[in-house]
Amino acid sequence: MRANLMFRDRGFDIDAPKAPGRDDMIIDLQIQRILDAMSNGNKTINDVCDAALFQPLQSIDEISYRHETLDDARRNPDVVTKLFEIADEATERHSVKFRKMPSAHVSVMYHNTIEYLRGCIDSLQSLRKLAHRERKKFSSEGFTNLLSLLESELDDDYLKPLDRKLQSLFSGDDAIISADLGEILEGVSFTSRKPVFHGITDNWMTAPMYTINDNSTTLHIEKKEFELRSDLAMDRMTTALRQSAEFVGSFFNMLRNETGFFAGVLNLENKLKKIGMPLARPTLLPVESTRHDWSGLYDVSLALIRNAKVVGSELDTENKKLFVITGANQGGKSTYLRGMGQAYLMAQCGMYVGAESYTSPLRRNLFTHFKREADIRLKSGKLDEELERLSKIGEHLTPGCLVFLNESFSSTNEREGSEIIRQITQAMIENNIEVFSVTHMYIYATAFKDDASTMFLRAQRRDGGERTFKIQPGEPLVTAFGEDIYRQVFLGEAAMKRDADGIVVN
């Protein structure tokens, strides 16, 4: 059985390769804060949400399927949580029972496997009862098929005889092994036997019985040989039971992973709703589209760390390949990039995004190249380090990808840095790779002023120096208003005059 909550036609592979550039995105887009909010300290949820975020879907149909499943989960959060808890408990039971199995004696393996399978029957019965009670509340294809399957396949006609068979195999500390006598009276044809009961008397009790004298050296050797061959007989039966246990265990593990993703999404949404931040079901367009239309798009990690509302931004444009973002220092430019990157990852793994509304094209992959702080462990200069990271990105770039450049090559002088990043940016947009570039380099920014496929955005700054943290259309300015920061740090807030509305004035 497959859960098929994440995909219509296959299970979700938590171990599938993650998107190239994942490690940089974790740092640059502050994704770990989002994963922490999703997991609530649960490692399984953290791992499965990490895998989902960095396995971006490339089909609008696949995203729609997952959105519909998520909508059902949002309407029935308690049921999703219960499904995850049942699967999680069964998976943990498997881990406990089989963690030391390779070194265990065959009889220990035999009994542990039966105990595990009998515990699984209890878990399967819980799933069946939950499905029977809650199935009609769900309408998505994923949850409807799963709950219908649990209800129909795990009925009493299947589970009760299965439990009886397992119980018959578990006869205290002993297993019944039969053997024939060979030509020289050695044991041959060792076979595991199922006890058959007639009233209170076991038919094996009436069979001929022979006792080996432990004081006989010869017979002691024969006894050891008998035990060895008996173990081999039990091993065959244990192997068959283990195969059944692995099959059942893989189902519970799969169900835990897939319900864990939706449980994690609900955890995140609950935290954002408590803060008062909006969530929007994204509209995804084909990869060939250049349409971007969103409102109230915000940095989810910033909202989580502040535990308070944060400012969102808008964008409504089409037929642009390059977005050059300039403006005042500490005006929200990097925050804007993080919000967009988080929205991309969340949208293309089937989540709602941090915005009031969101429409954007599918993208093959996202890559981030953010300025890094000085690192004394670097074996080469900062310019070499930046070039090396960009070179690794270049190995994976294809048409339809999205690249975020944040103060790239600002470690060198403006003339040289502008020329390096200009050539790299030009090559990307010529190959249909979309670029959002935050920069303070005026030479670089203005190099694209006559390019019809370029849109200029600027961090809003009011006349008195106040930052609104909104990003709006606006051409590059020569200054980044660094003097505003100087006045705040060295002159203090009291030295800044304000008008009647509280706005800073010169």
Do 261 and 285 sit in the same domain of this protein?
no
Do the strands 322-327 and 357-361 form a parallel or antiparallel pair, or are they unpaired? unpaired
Give the mean pLDDT of 76-83: 97
Looking up tokens 């220990």 gives 108
Q: Where residue 481 falls among pLDDT bands split at 50, 70, 90?
A: very low
Alpha helices per DSSP H over 40-137:
43-53, 60-75, 77-98, 106-134
> Are residues 129 and 92 both part of a single domain?
yes
Cα–Cα distance measured from residue 131 to residue 143, given in angstroms and rounded to the nearest whole number: 10
Q: Residue 423's pLDDT is what?
A: 97
In a domain, 188, yes or no: no
* Whether residue 350 is found in the same domain as residue 484: yes
What average pLDDT score do residues 57-72 get? Answer: 97
Tell me, yes or no, whether 304 and 374 share the same domain.
Answer: yes
pLDDT for residue 322: 98
Domain termination residue (choose one: 268, 299, 327) = 268
- Above 50 in pLDDT, residue 438? yes
Q: Per the confidence metrics, is the pTM higher than 0.85?
A: no
> Angle at CA 97, nearest 5°, toward 96 and 100?
85
- For 300-338, what is each residue's pLDDT tens digit? 999 999 999 999 999 999 999 999 999 988 888 999 999
* Proportion of the chain above pLDDT 70, given as a percent: 71
Residues 10-53 have pLDDT tens digits of 999 999 999 999 999 999 999 999 999 999 999 999 999 999 99
Distance CA 253, CA 113 (A): 17
Rounded Cα gap, residues 3 and 145, in angstroms:
8
Number of structural domains found in the chain: 2
The pLDDT of residue 220 is 44
pLDDT digits (tens, 9 = 90+) for 441-453: 999 999 999 999 9
- Cβ burial of 481 (10 Å; 0-12, 13-18, 19+) is middle
CA dist., res. 505 & res. 485, Å (int): 14
Greater confidence, 171 or 476? 476
In terms of domains, do 74 and 117 share one?
yes
**Mean pLDDT, rounded, for 447-463:** 90
Confidence grade of residue 213 (pLDDT, cut at 50, 70, 90) = low
Beta strand pairing status for 402-406 and 366-370?
parallel
- pLDDT, one tens digit per residue, over 112-157 is 777 777 777 888 889 989 999 999 999 999 999 999 988 887 766 6
Residue 224: pLDDT over 80: no
Same domain, 479 and 341: yes
93 pLDDT tier (thresholds 50, 70, 90)? confident
Domain that holds residue 413: 276-491
> Do 461 and 378 fall into the same domain?
yes
Quote the CA–CA distance of 318 and 290 in Å, as a whole number. Answer: 5
Q: 215-224, 382-391, 450-459: which range is least confident on average? A: 215-224
Q: List, in order, residues 6 or more apart from 444 with CB less than 8 Å away.
A: 414, 417, 418, 419, 421, 422, 425
Residues 300 and 259 in one domain: no
Question: Closest Cα to residue 404, out of 428, 431, 436?
Answer: 436
pLDDT at residue 331, as a whole number:
81
State yes or no: pLDDT of 77 exceeds 50. Answer: yes
Residue 343 covered by a domain: yes
Q: Which amino acid is at 309?
A: K
340 and 260 inside one domain: no
